[in-house]
């Protein structure tokens, strides 16, 4: 199957819309980024199905509708600098790169960052900076950020990330104490403090400490 075939793309966009991804900018960004480029072998053939799929290091590329809903919830403007914690395949970062000024993305697995960088280059996405590290500590050198998106589940929104968010900024993070029950939270930072908003149930791999052992 040709991943870019018009019929496949139409069905992909239809599925996104029917699951609540309705913003034109987000849909256009997702239409322009080939999810198949972030997948290997047999999984690349399933790139346009609305399902999470396995990637290297025992991790997963998120479900497209979840990528769309999180991107939408982040309310990114074209001038924004965004931090993503959990590069994984790089797909979410690539979608963000289409609608933000600059995207910083960090993962604890060096191999995932290397593979994602190759795809960013192949797709000419020059406004993404990727780094290997424990993203729970954010990226102090590049802070503060207008937007922060965490694509692994934490017990609580990590303190360093909250402090690296600009006043007026928004952070989207899955929060939960187990692998099965997690809620997507939106945090808004104002001069008066932090305001939390529960968005929907989600299921992500856990945010782990330290660097990953390569597999």
The answer to whether 108 contacts ligand SAH (rule: CB under 6 A) is yes
Cα angle vertex 107, ends 106, 109, to 5°? Answer: 150
d(CA 5, CA 70): 26
Catalytic residue among 56, 62, 65, 89: 62
> Which of 71, 151, 164, 182 touches ligand SAH by CB under 6 A?
151
Cα angle vertex 13, ends 8, 18, to 5°? Answer: 125
The answer to whether 136 contacts ligand SAH (rule: CB under 6 A) is yes
The answer to whether 109 contacts ligand SAH (rule: CB under 6 A) is yes
The answer to whether 139 contacts ligand SAH (rule: CB under 6 A) is no
Stretch that binds ligand SAH, among 29-37, 71-79, 194-202, 203-211 (CB under 6 A): 203-211
Alpha helix locations (H) across the chain? 6-18, 24-32, 64-73, 91-99, 110-122, 159-163
> Is residue 62 among the annotated active site residues?
yes
3-state secondary structure of 111: helix
Stretch that binds ligand SAH, among 17-25, 40-48, 138-146, 205-213 (CB under 6 A): 205-213
3-state secondary structure of 26: helix
Stretch that binds ligand SAH, among 16-24, 29-37, 133-141, 180-188 (CB under 6 A): 133-141
The answer to whether 147 contacts ligand SAH (rule: CB under 6 A) is no
Classify residue 145 as exposed, middle or buried by CB count within 10 Å of its CB (0-12, 13-18, 19+).
buried
Interacting residues toward ligand SAH by CB under 6 A: 59-62, 85-86, 88-89, 91-92, 106-109, 112, 134-136, 151-152, 205, 207-208, 212
């Amino acid at each position: 199957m040709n991943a870019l075939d018009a019929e496949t793309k139409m069905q992909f966009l239809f599925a996104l819309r029917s699951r609540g991804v309705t913003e034109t900018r987000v849909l256009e960004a997702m239409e322009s980024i080939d999810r198949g480029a972030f997948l290997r072998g047999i999984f690349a053939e399933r790139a346009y199905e609305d399902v999470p799929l396995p990637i290297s290091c025992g991790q997963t590329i998120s479900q497209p509708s979840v990528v769309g809903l999180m991107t939408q919830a982040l309310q990114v403007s074209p001038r924004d600098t965004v931090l993503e914690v959990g590069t994984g395949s790089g797909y979410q970062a690539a979608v963000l790169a289409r609608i933000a000024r600059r995207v910083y993305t960090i993962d604890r697995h060096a191999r995932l960052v290397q593979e994602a960088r190759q795809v960013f280059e192949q797709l000419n996405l020059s406004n993404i900076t990727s780094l290997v590290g424990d993203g729970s500590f954010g990226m102090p050198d590049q802070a503060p950020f207008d937007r922060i998106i965490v694509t692994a589940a934490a017990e609580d929104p990590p303190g360093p990330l909250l402090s690296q968010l600009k006043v007026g900024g928004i952070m989207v993070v899955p929060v939960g104490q187990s692998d099965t029950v997690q809620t997507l939270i939106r945090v808004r930072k104002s001069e008066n403090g932090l305001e939390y908003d529960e968005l929907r149930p989600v299921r992500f791999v856990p945010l782990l400490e330290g660097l990953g052992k390569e597999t």
